[in-house]
Structure 1
Amino acid sequence: MPAEVFGPGYRFLPREEILSFEEIHRISRIATKLGVRKIRLTGGEPLLRRGLADLVAMLATVDGIDDIALTTNGVLLAHHAEALALAGLSRVTVSLDALDPTVFSRMNGVGAKVDRVLAGISTAANFGLPVKVNCVVQKDVNESEILPLVDWAKDSGVTLRFIEFMDVGETNGWSTEHVVPAAEILDRIRSRHPLVALPPNHTGETATRWRHADSDAEIGVIASVTAPFCQSCSRLRLSADGHAFTCLFNPTGHDLRPLLRGGAPDSTLAAAFAGIWSERTDRYSELRGETTQAKAEMSYLGG
C-alpha cells in the first residue's frame, strides 16, 4: 500500500462495512456446495485483522474445505503462528522480496525489518506449518536477490516462488521495462543450481515447478506476464467488504452484501455465485496492452 496514497490521513472503511467472520464463514460454506475446496486468506495484511485465528477455526469446520492457507508479509507471523496452527491453518505463504536489509527496507517502504519476517517463517515452521515464500522480481530493484534467496530457501527447506512483476492496480508504477521474464529468472538460478522439472500438482496450477537436482527443495516461477494462464484460472476473490472478483485485474466486483444482509436464503446466494462464475469472460493478462481498463489495487484483492 504505497505510503503516498495510503498515508496517515487515509480514511479506511468503517467497521460495519467489512464482512464479519460469520458472513465470511457463510459464504465459504455456500461456495463448497459449488466445488470450492481451498480457501486463502490474503490482504492487505490479514494478520492486522483482530482475532484472525478465530476465523481460521470457523473455516476449519466447513465440510468440503481441504486446505486453508494464509498469505502474509510475515512481520506479525511469529506472534500469531501458534494460534493459527492450533486453529487449523494448513499452510502459510510469506511475501519476501529480498534478504538484504537495505533492499528489503527500500521495497517495503514502511520500516519493516527482514529479521522479523525470517523469525516469523522460522516460528511458523516450528509449529508445523508448511511455509512457501513468494518473491516478486523487479528489474534493477531486487534482481540481485534471486540467487541469495534460492540459497537460503534450499538450506531452510522452504518452497520458493518467483513471480513476474505485474500491473496490478494503478499505483505501483508498473511498466514492461520493470519485468524480469521468468525465463531469465530460471537462467540465473541454473547458473548456480541444476534443476529438475516437476509435474503440476493440479489442473490450473499457476507456477511452473522445479526442484534442485541434489535435494527435494522446490522452486517455482509464475510467468503471469510473459505466459498468461487466464484460460485455466480457477480463483475467485472475496474482498473485505463483500465484493466477489473473478479476476485480479477487474476494476469492480459483484457486491454480495445486499444478499448477505438482506435476508436472502443460501440458495439465492449460491445462485448468485454460480451466475457470477459462469458468466465471467476475464482475459486481462492475455489481452495486456489491448485494454486500458482501470484495476483494483492488490491491497484490496490480495494475491
Structure 2
Amino acid sequence: MEDKFERQIDYLRVSVTDRCNLRCFYCMPEEGIELKTHEEILSYEELYNIIKSATELGFKKIRLTGGEPLVRKGIVNFIEKLHQLEIDDLALTTNGILLSKYAADLKAAGLDRVNISLDTLQSDKFREITCSENYSLSDVMKGIKEAQRVGLTPIKLNVVLIRGVNDNEIEDFARLTIDSELIVRFIEVMPLGNNYDWVKEKHISITKVKEELNQFDSLIPAEEGVGNGPAKYYRFSKAAGKIGFISPISDHYCPSCNRIRLTADGFLKSCLMADKELNIKKAIRSESQADGLKKVLKQSILAKPKQGLGDEISADFESNKRLMSQIGG
C-alpha cells in the first residue's frame, strides 16, 4: 500500500490495552488517565480480524504495544494465533517488568523479538521515573536476560532522553553494547498531549548525544538491521551490539514513515503527531466483512499527512491531543 506521497505503508502498531503497571511521569499524568471500559476496548477476535485484513493489504510488520501489553490476559494465545498469518516481523514493545515470566511462552507462541523501554540503569531513579514502589529495575534486567536466553532477538532497549533526568547515563547505556549484542536506542522526547512546553525545556538533541559518545569511542555507521524503523544505527569499533538514534524533533523522519497505529479502543492513527483518527471499531462491529475493514485501513493510509513534525506542517494540521499511553508507543 502506498500513501499519497508514495511512501510504502507496511507497518501496523497495535495497542492491545491502555493499562500499564508503571506510571512513567513523561508518559502518564500524575493523576492518571481515565481507563476505557471492557466494552470500549477491542476484543482479541476484533484485533485479529483487523490485523488479518491488514496483512491481506500488504502489511508485513506488526508490533504489539500498550499501555503494557503483557498485563492483558490471553496475550500469549493471541500471539500464537497471529503467528499463523503472513507476517514477516511480529514484535512486541514492553517495559520488561513481566518479561522474565512470559519470555519463553512468547517465543514458543511465535513472537520474533521484543523492544524494552528502559530510561535509567539506576535503581533509585527507576522508582522516580516509573512512580512505582511495586516493581524495580532488577525486574527489568531479569526480563532482558530471559529474553536473550530464549532468543527474542535482536533486543532493542528504548531510552527516552530527558534533560536533568537521565542525560548523565548516556555513556553507561552505550557501554552495554560493547560486550552484548543488545541494541540501545536513544530517543528524543516528543511533544504529545499537554506536554509541549515541558518538552522544550527537557529536550536533548541527538546531535549532542553523538558528540558525547564520539568522545568515548568513534561511532561507525552500522547496518539498519531488523525493523526498518526511524532509527539510524552506529556501533563502536569492537562492540558486539549497536547504538541507534531516533530524532523526531531535530531530524524528523516523516519522509520515510511507513506505519499507522491502531489504538486499543479501535481508532486508526495515520500519524503519531496528528489528532485525526478513523473509527475502525464502528466498522468491525457493524460489518465484520473484510472489505469493510480494508476500506477503513485504506482510508487511514491515504489520510497520512506529508509531515507531522518540523517546519513544513500544513496550516490545517491538528496536533495530537492524546497522551502516549493512550495511543500505544
Provide TM-score, normalisation by structure 1: 0.92
CA displacement at 1:92 relative to structure 2 = 0.3
2:37 aligned to which of 14, 18, 27:
14
Measured at CA, do residues 203 and 82 of structure 1 come closer, stay the same or move farther in structure 2, by a change above 3 Å?
A: closer
Matches within 5 A, 1:274-285: 274-285=298-309
Partner of 2:91: 69
Distance in 2 (CA, whole Å) between partners of 1:257 and 1:33 is 18
Distance in 2 (CA, whole Å) between partners of 1:127 and 1:62 is 22
Aligned residue for 1:226, secondary structure, equals coil
Measured at CA, do residues 21 and 166 of structure 1 come closer, stay the same or move farther in structure 2, by a change above 3 Å?
A: same
CA displacement at 1:39 relative to structure 2 = 0.5
Matches within 5 A, 1:70-219: 70-111=92-133, 112-130=135-153, 131-171=155-195, 174-201=198-225, 205-219=229-243
Measured at CA, do residues 66 and 213 of structure 1 come closer, stay the same or move farther in structure 2, by a change above 3 Å?
A: same
- Say if 2:53 is the partner of 1:27: no
Measured at CA, do residues 204 and 281 of structure 1 come closer, stay the same or move farther in structure 2, by a change above 3 Å?
A: farther
After superposing the two structures, state which structure 1 stretch, 256-265 or 38-47, moved more: 256-265
Distance in 2 (CA, whole Å) between partners of 1:79 and 1:223 is 33
CA displacement at 1:3 relative to structure 2 = 5.3
**Is the Cα contact below 8 Å between 1:169 and 1:249 reproduced in 2?**
no
Measured at CA, do residues 258 and 250 of structure 1 come closer, stay the same or move farther in structure 2, by a change above 3 Å?
A: same
Higher relative contact order (CA 8 A, sep 6+): 2
Measured at CA, do residues 80 and 173 of structure 1 come closer, stay the same or move farther in structure 2, by a change above 3 Å?
A: farther
Aligned residue for 2:47, secondary structure, equals helix
- Say if 2:275 is the partner of 1:251: yes
CA displacement at 1:204 relative to structure 2 = 6.2
- Say if 2:254 is the partner of 1:230: yes
CA displacement at 1:210 relative to structure 2 = 0.5
Aligned residue for 1:163, secondary structure, equals strand
Distance in 2 (CA, whole Å) between partners of 1:88 and 1:234 is 23
After superposing the two structures, state which structure 1 stretch, 90-99 or 162-171, moved more: 162-171
Task: Report the aligned-residue RMSD.
Answer: 2.1
For structure 1, the 5+ residue unaligned runs are none
CA displacement at 1:5 relative to structure 2 = 2.5
Distance in 1 (CA, whole Å) between partners of 2:201 and 2:29 is 23
1:24 counterpart letter in structure 2? L
CA displacement at 1:173 relative to structure 2 = 6.1
CA displacement at 1:172 relative to structure 2 = 7.9
1:49 aligned to which of 72, 94, 108:
72
Measured at CA, do residues 173 and 299 of structure 1 come closer, stay the same or move farther in structure 2, by a change above 3 Å?
A: farther
Deviations 1:206-254 (A, max 9, x none): 0111022113311110011100111211111101111000111223421
**Is the Cα contact below 8 Å between 1:37 and 1:67 reproduced in 2?**
yes
Distance in 1 (CA, whole Å) between partners of 2:149 and 2:225 is 25
Measured at CA, do residues 284 and 140 of structure 1 come closer, stay the same or move farther in structure 2, by a change above 3 Å?
A: same
Provide TM-score, normalisation by structure 2: 0.85
After superposing the two structures, state which structure 1 stretch, 129-138 or 260-269, moved more: 260-269
CA displacement at 1:101 relative to structure 2 = 1.2
Aligned residue for 1:250, secondary structure, equals coil
After superposing the two structures, state which structure 1 stretch, 283-292 or 31-40, moved more: 283-292
Aligned residues between the structures: 299
